[in-house]
Structure 1
Amino acid sequence: MVWMLAFAAPALASTGKPEGFAVEQASSQIVLGKVTLRYEPELADDAEMLAQSIPQWWSEIERPLARDVDDRVRITFVNHSGRVAEATGMPQWVAGVARPEAGDIVIARHAPDGSRTDLERLLKHEMAHVILHRATGGAELPRWFHEGMAESVTGGISLTRAQTLAAAVFGPGVPDLAKLEQHFRGSDGADAAVAYAAARDLVEFLRSRDAQGAQGASMRQLLAELRRGTDFEAAFVRAYDASLPDLVGQWRGGLRGRFVWYPMIASGGVPFALLMPLVFAAWLRRRRELARGWARLEREDEIERAAMAGGAFGMA
């Protein structure tokens, strides 16, 4: 996510200096199996809360991205986002960073303006980057896909994201994928806010669209294709029976209809608070459809694994 006062959303990223995240102030440590949590001593209470929640949060993010991946991860927890930027070389608006190939994460208790970050959402987002990297066998993925997946599987409704994307749809336009990549790597917080909002919405569209008739099946096949080494765009054709440009075109074609409420708000005709129930209901319906689809796929996987286990036992 991106932190700016105008957008009120904490900042996240999925890259950093290759030498790792060295933060001298994070001198205390908790070890949970394969998870190492380093933190600044004054953050002990929050660190204990994180330590208790990490296994469950990891499982929640892992479920839609992969059956099971290595859960080795090193988390550094600091007091202010400025130390995140110092440790990672990322922009000052960043409050969380992951280096997926190394399993390193750094998050901050406070955002650039001093307000408290949403630690659950922040850490889940960075965990998603690590899990996605491992679920795809370390495949080289576009930044928009990495960030969009991390935003999507983290869950929760983001009215800020919806407003940001709607403003782009009815304003300067939603950047193409190449521009989104540039915005993620730039230092302009406003551009980054649009990039995160667009990436999340595009991935939500991809997760809800299925060529195979089962909610979530095409996305799962896409991840499997990437894990096998299939080229990124070729993987979309195999999983969705459609090219990535075609899918992006379909997504773009539906944006104005989905955000038809925005002009009323922008003109001052209708307060956003009055439309919040409608926006929330639409989001909730979409999330429930995704949840049902993933639950069905999980049941099918369990049946398949049970059948394989039974066969192996019989041969023994």
Structure 2
Amino acid sequence: MIVVKSPAKFNINKSLEELLAHEYAHLALAHRVGHRHRPRWFDEGLAVLVSREWSWASNLTMSLSAVVGQFVPLEEIEMVNRFGAGKARLAYAESYLAVQYFFDEYGIKAVNLFVDSIAAGASIDNSLMASTGSNYADFETEFRVYLQSRFNLVTLITDMTYFWIALAVILIIGFFLKMRKKREYLRKWDEEEKMASTDFDYGDSDHPEQTDDDEPWRR
């Protein structure tokens, strides 16, 4: 039996559908390779690919990392559970891109050959060599070149532009919602005042009450 807790219980910013797809991808890959060790970047990257978790925020993370030149080496992603939040986000983004690069550059047959080699007991280095013709170090170098060509200062500026546009739209929407709420509050207040005024009897203006001045016999 598999128990999956709702993502609402955790601060992970995932829908239930994304969470289920992500975890199912892990299970499927583990079953495919006979639970042999597989690269963490491939495991996580495939899960992100299957669950379609890539977002604009991931793009921004990669652009920032490219500008400052701080990518996480693929082999280091094995320790992703020990990373801080920021580095972990970068590691997951890189993992997704590494798998996407694998598919785009070498094709699905090469990916299947890589997985089959791992299932057969081959090392990660030999599995990469059999499927791509490159060992681990060379694949990492190729991938790094790909990242540097895809993410740079231009993409960062573009991503930031989208960010400010999105922020402006959110602020404008928030302003109009606040104004509408304020108008609704004032309308209800006005209605309550009118109702309160009808509860007080001001008398008949055409026949005002008599005063002592109208009754001289009382003097």
CA distance in 2, matches of 1:238, 1:179: 22
What is the letter of the counterpart of residue 140 of structure 1? H
Q: Which consecutive aligned stretches of 4+ in structure 1 deviate over 3 angstroms post-superposition? A: 270-274
CA distance in 2, matches of 1:209, 1:265: 25
Q: 1:236 aligns with which of 108, 122, 128?
A: 128
CA distance in 1, matches of 2:58, 2:9: 17
Asked if residue 246 in structure 1 is aligned to residue 138 in structure 2, the reply is yes
Asked if residue 207 in structure 1 is aligned to residue 103 in structure 2, the reply is yes
TM-score, normalised relative to structure 2: 0.67
CA distance in 2, matches of 1:155, 1:170: 25
The answer for the alignment partner of 1:55 in structure 2 is none
Tell me if structure 2 keeps the 8 A contact 1:111–1:117: no
Per-residue CA deviation, residues 47-90 of structure 1 (Å, 9 max, x unaligned), is xxxxxxxxxxxxxxxxxxxxxxxxxxx331xxxxxxxxxxxxxx
CA distance in 1, matches of 2:75, 2:133: 23
The answer for the alignment partner of 2:15 in structure 1 is 118
CA distance in 2, matches of 1:172, 1:242: 24
Asked if residue 108 in structure 1 is aligned to residue 6 in structure 2, the reply is yes
CA distance in 2, matches of 1:119, 1:151: 14
- 1:110 alignment partner, SS class: helix
Tell me if structure 2 keeps the 8 A contact 1:167–1:262: no
Aligned residue pair count: 165
Question: RMSD in angstroms over aligned alpha carbons?
Answer: 2.5
- 1:205 alignment partner, SS class: helix
* 1:267-282 equivalent positions in 2, closer than 5 A: 270-272=161-163
Q: 2:112 aligns with which of 220, 223, 243?
A: 220
What is the letter of the counterpart of residue 152 of structure 1? L
What is the letter of the counterpart of residue 264 of structure 1? I
Q: 1:262 aligns with which of 135, 152, 155?
A: 155
CA distance in 2, matches of 1:235, 1:199: 17
CA distance in 2, matches of 1:154, 1:116: 13
Q: Which has the larger radius of gyration?
A: 2
The answer for the alignment partner of 2:212 in structure 1 is none
- 1:271 alignment partner, SS class: helix
The answer for the alignment partner of 2:90 in structure 1 is 194
- 2:5 alignment partner, SS class: strand
CA distance in 2, matches of 1:172, 1:258: 13
CA distance in 2, matches of 1:220, 1:147: 16
Bigger relative contact order (CA 8 A; separation at least 6)? 2
CA distance in 2, matches of 1:175, 1:156: 19
- 2:122 alignment partner, SS class: coil
The answer for the alignment partner of 1:129 in structure 2 is 26
Tell me if structure 2 keeps the 8 A contact 1:107–1:122: no
Normalized per residue, the structure richer in helix is: 2
Q: Tell me the CA shift for residue 204 of structure 1.
A: 0.8
CA distance in 2, matches of 1:209, 1:216: 9
CA distance in 2, matches of 1:259, 1:232: 27
CA distance in 2, matches of 1:116, 1:243: 35
Task: Indicate how the Cα distance of structure 1 residues 273 and 250 shifts in structure 2: closer, same or farther if over 3 A, else same.
Answer: farther
TM-score, normalised relative to structure 1: 0.47
Normalized per residue, the structure richer in strand is: 1
